[in-house]
Structure 1
């Protein structure tokens, strides 16, 4: 228990310290790991289990926010393979000419360094609410392809050869109705949380490992399997707190990989000089697939890290005698340093892009990727953002009164369902800064913000005003204390959900009471009595 207290205390203190300097707390957690390692403390099975649990939960939550059809795109499949091949070739040439590594060892190390961190990318994108943004989907798709390549490499080198029964995992699609039913009957309390843990740890984690496959890959794929369920967001929210706590263990574990001497640290720092090369290469590859400079830059910066999965691949090289143990420590330090570098850069990615935009725009293709084109609202006068029950009700009310209305929702499946029901609804995530760069609202007179998330509503109001929108902005809020925040962000009017539901409910009851007693409302000077 003393050891756990030490981990928690040091992680909290350093996380708090780095946050005061505007850095993400994970930088402090890595620092805590380095300090513990310097005092001779090593990661133990308990910390390893916590770290692995955090990674599985994070990747499962990432999967819940993705759609498989959005990942099977040329820029993802071809772009990722092309990027890994070129990066590996460059690193092999450098290592083989500048070190004493054999060609086989140089190739193995190069492939390990060509991977990017799934954990950092997922955490960064989730923290900025950009998992569903176009560049976020591209980045996660590339990472999934990298994970598949890593699994194949481990199998080829004798690491974890998949069982022949692994082919049966293709049958998971046919079991989706069963998982949907279990999610439906899990309720809204602790059973829902336990269902998420069951899927992430048992079916995805232990299940995929049993078949000789990566548990991390299993977590993402199981998340994608459940992503179209109407309660996927609720399940994700229920797991969020546990995921955040367990991930602290992961960053401590990375920091405790070993205490480097100054020479090893210097070599690790030199390896980090290759990160801009990785990012620039991916930037230009994505431009070839007609992505905008902004989307290409944000995706490339998200993946400008070395991967914890690469350490697993490197460890296999050590086991097979191709790499010295010192190389594993060197790579572990390089991975940790890449995290420290990437975290603050990604936090300010949009600001950095604005600085570099004038030099990056000339590289854009004359044609645009279909998912990266400007969003035209046509001749619509009213825009409803968030097509849940409240947004749908507002859309229908205004449409029935002859208004030209268009809806927008961050869930592609929901937008598609609305279109099949005859509504004009586009896909768009209000928390994606790229959306506001593409959105044209010249004909729009008013915007109704009906999203359930406060941050989404405030960001939308702020971005609308920033882009020069002078029309009416009306927003909804769940809690009374949120109203002022939304108004300060630029909304003209903000309504509390439950206040207005209560008023509407009472008005409807009042109307029915007077209708049933056949008396006009103006004649009632006292409380009416419901008929028996």
Structure 2
């Protein structure tokens, strides 16, 4: 069975590549090339031709990828000047520079040159998201800007794919404009699906059946359908749980996409030269992003970290090429893999690199600062609550009855707005963002409650508070005893185990009830 050999080779090479700190998809692409080489060798009795099943699996991976992109498509994170302006300006400038250059250097038409420039203008969503997640910087300011730009690029790629496919929609395509009316029904289905296999099946139903086949049936792009159905669910509280449940399924199907590219043919000399030249001009892409971020008043540090995360070529470029330029798939695949080899190690060294380059980079900063990077002053706040989930909200509400000089911070903008609407003094801040700590002024704070759900956020907050010279009382909660010990070592004065405290509270309520009962009975008897 060729499929068994595909899977085995993809796993082995993916594991080898991962062990040296690079994205496994480079290994999957390499596995495809190895299989292609074996197929071209008559003496080896193996001919793993790409089958219809592999092509179908690859297409399903693309649809699931777009569906998960749609689940993250919250307008609040995209409709920002630095995101819209930065992505559109970068796309436009890249196409204006790359297209003529490619036309002059290669013997190709203007259409091919333009589509190659489009493919090279995108940055890798998979690599950037993984790098930011591993460094716990997805919610940091530069992380949010990077993800926003990547989403905008994905939308541009989707538009290009729809135009390149040349599909003519039928009259039934007008039904698409009524899809937002289905949101209440889809929300109820998501609520009813639970947390197990039904949740995964719901995601696949929406992405592959209703979004994929449904849109194809009315003459529209299946990729567009998957993205739209994901976007409809983006504001549901469980949208990210759905995205996480589909993550492994999507990644497995995308293995088929990269295998299919590699099996399609071995890279020739021209393909390798093209990839090397594209890699040599990769710094231009990063430099352009850096100066565009400074144009929108980001600090040099945020601009540098954002640009470094986006300095690579994208798997989305391969998806665009699979539709518009199938004959360029192999050269572009080598280009993407080579950019990952360069980008992944650089991003691991992002902070030390900035420390070394910062004296030169800060000279380009604007005198005006982005609103999200202005210094935060807590004024006369006496007690600070960090994290406004259920525990933080309960602590805030109890403290509010006796303490007027109270403030809370949270890293979820939607949650901040909800608390503000309910009259609580809550502002946006992310404890895992160094920029926040660098700009924080807390002259009157005497005590801090660490109520964030993430253990790393609590550890960072405790360390940074003490590093800033805070000598007041720090208290935290956690679920596990080993985490409580780590939080105290980081600088907290006390840590309470959530479940233990819940048990104590239940027992105290019970004791107060049964001690009151005899008194009530004696009163009734008298």
TM-score between both structures, scaled by the size of structure 2? 0.85
Unpaired segments ≥5 residues, structure 1:
320-324, 520-530
CA–CA distance in structure 1, aligned partners of residues 253 and 369 of structure 2: 40
CA–CA distance in structure 2, aligned partners of residues 347 and 338 of structure 1: 14
1:485-504 equivalence runs, <5 A:
485-504=486-505
Give the secondary-structure state (helix, strand or coil) at the position aligned to 2:286: helix
Partner of 1:146: 153
Partner of 2:340: 339
Q: Which of residues 94, 115, 118 is equivalent to 1:111?
A: 118
Q: Give the C-alpha shift of residue 503 in structure 1.
A: 1.2
Q: Is 1:377 aligned to residue 378 of structure 2?
A: yes
Q: Give the C-alpha shift of residue 146 in structure 1.
A: 3.0
CA–CA distance in structure 2, aligned partners of residues 316 and 390 of structure 1: 50
CA–CA distance in structure 2, aligned partners of residues 265 and 25 of structure 1: 20
CA–CA distance in structure 2, aligned partners of residues 239 and 233 of structure 1: 10
Q: Give the C-alpha shift of residue 58 in structure 1.
A: 4.8
Partner of 2:400: 399
CA–CA distance in structure 2, aligned partners of residues 163 and 140 of structure 1: 34
CA–CA distance in structure 1, aligned partners of residues 58 and 436 of structure 2: 35
Partner of 2:44: none
Aligned residues: CA RMSD:
3.2
- C-alpha distance 450-68 of structure 1, shift in aligned 2 (>3 A): same
Partner of 2:192: 185
Give the secondary-structure state (helix, strand or coil) at the position aligned to 1:422: coil
Q: Give the C-alpha shift of residue 154 in structure 1.
A: 3.9
Give the secondary-structure state (helix, strand or coil) at the position aligned to 1:517: helix
Partner of 1:322: none
- C-alpha distance 140-169 of structure 1, shift in aligned 2 (>3 A): farther
Unpaired segments ≥5 residues, structure 2:
40-47
Partner of 2:309: 302
Q: Which of residues 79, 85, 93 is equivalent to 1:72?
A: 79
Q: Give the C-alpha shift of residue 145 in structure 1.
A: 3.2
Q: Deviations over 1:140-174 (max 9, x none)?
A: 33333333433443444454455565454343333
TM-score between both structures, scaled by the size of structure 1? 0.84
Q: Which of residues 81, 86, 90 is equivalent to 2:88?
A: 81
- Say which is worse superposed, 100-109 or 10-19, in terms of deviation: 10-19
Q: Give the C-alpha shift of residue 39 in structure 1.
A: 3.2
Q: Give the C-alpha shift of residue 283 in structure 1.
A: 1.4
Give the secondary-structure state (helix, strand or coil) at the position aligned to 1:518: helix
Q: Is 1:424 aligned to residue 425 of structure 2?
A: yes
CA–CA distance in structure 2, aligned partners of residues 214 and 128 of structure 1: 35
Q: Is the 8 A contact 1:431 1:460 kept in 2?
A: yes
Q: Is the 8 A contact 1:473 1:492 kept in 2?
A: yes
Q: Which of residues 169, 183, 196 is equivalent to 2:176?
A: 169
Q: Is the 8 A contact 1:54 1:247 kept in 2?
A: yes
Q: Is the 8 A contact 2:261 2:329 kept in 1?
A: no
Q: Is 1:350 aligned to residue 351 of structure 2?
A: yes
- C-alpha distance 483-422 of structure 1, shift in aligned 2 (>3 A): same
- C-alpha distance 317-389 of structure 1, shift in aligned 2 (>3 A): closer
Q: Is the 8 A contact 2:119 2:317 kept in 1?
A: yes
Q: Is the 8 A contact 2:143 2:306 kept in 1?
A: yes
